[in-house]
Amino acid sequence: MALSDLANEIIELDRLNMEAHFIASGETFDSARREAGLGSEIQEGAQFLQVRRSGELIAYLEYLPPQDGKFRIPSLQVHPTYRGTSILRPLLAQAAHRIGSWPDATLQTRVHSTNSKSIRLHSRLGFSHVASSDGRLVFTISVSALQAKLQTYSGLTQRSSGAHKPDDVNSNDPG
Ligand SMILES: CC(C)(COP(=O)(O)OP(=O)(O)OC[C@H]1O[C@@H](n2cnc3c(N)ncnc32)[C@H](O)[C@@H]1OP(=O)(O)O)[C@@H](O)C(=O)NCCC(=O)NCCS
């Protein structure tokens, strides 16, 4: 798939999921701004781990290669229809595999302070809230701590009876 097609799908899923959080923060979701941001992130080497159903993008995780020992995760999105179906498991497992070559690095995310589902997920994954700015909370976790948490969790029962497998996940590069 051409990166421009993927970018359009990402912007549409972001809008669907994030518009209400932007409005709650007194902002508007600006597709052109996200498009420009995505363009810069792609230039920086952004990777997009994707899950598709019947060709449609239903979940993705975007990460940037580490700089100064820090990974940035600009976005993690699950289509509303697929939330609460364990779709995150293969996505997080694949992300953990990818970042495993940098055990001493940390991950950093920013979350709207109104986004209670995301805040709860960060807490369950063991992230620490380290700062707040512009209506966003900044969370961090070390790669090794996240991997340990995911390892423990992978043995527990999935809500969708194992319907989501690691080979569900593909990415924009063969790595
Ligand atoms: C936030 C969001 C990604 C959460 O996705 P979700 O499918 O609703 O997931 P839930 O909140 O039900 O979280 C539970 C899942 O998280 C994962 N999870 C939770 N704790 C975990 C842990 N300790 N270790 C590993 N995985 C864990 C599991 O996959 C778990 O589901 P499972 O137990 O059935 O496998 C989703 O609501 C969304 O896309 N929201 C809009 C976009 C958004 O806010 N993005 C920012 C996210 S940081």
The pLDDT tens digits for 136-172 are: 999 999 999 999 999 888 766 666 655 667 667 888 7
Q: How far is the CA of 32 from the centre of ligand 1 (A)?
A: 27
Ligand 1: residues with CB < 6 A are 17, 76-78, 83-84, 86-89, 92, 109, 111, 115, 117-118, 121, 124-125, 149-150, 153, 158-159
Token pair for 67: 């700089």
Average pLDDT of 18-35? 94
The pLDDT tens digits for 99-133 are: 999 989 999 999 999 999 999 999 999 999 999 99
The CA–CA distances, whole Å, from 1 to 6, 32, 129, 165 equal: 7, 21, 36, 22
- Domains of the chain and CATH, by start: 3-171 (3.40.630.30)
- The number of the ligand 1 atom at minimal distance from the alpha carbon of 159 is 34
Give residue 164's Cα distance to chain centre: 17
User: How far is residue 140's CA from residue 146's CA, in Å, rounded to a whole number?
Assistant: 10
What residue's CA is closest to ligand 1, atom 1?
Answer: 118
Most confident of the following: 4-8, 89-93, 106-110: 106-110
The pLDDT tens digits for 34-51 are: 999 999 999 999 999 999
Give the pLDDT confidence score for residue 174 in this predicted structure: 46
Give the pLDDT confidence score for residue 151 in this predicted structure: 87
Give the pLDDT confidence score for residue 166 in this predicted structure: 65
DSSP 25-47: TT----HHHHHHHHHHHHHTT-E
Give the pLDDT confidence score for residue 157 in this predicted structure: 61
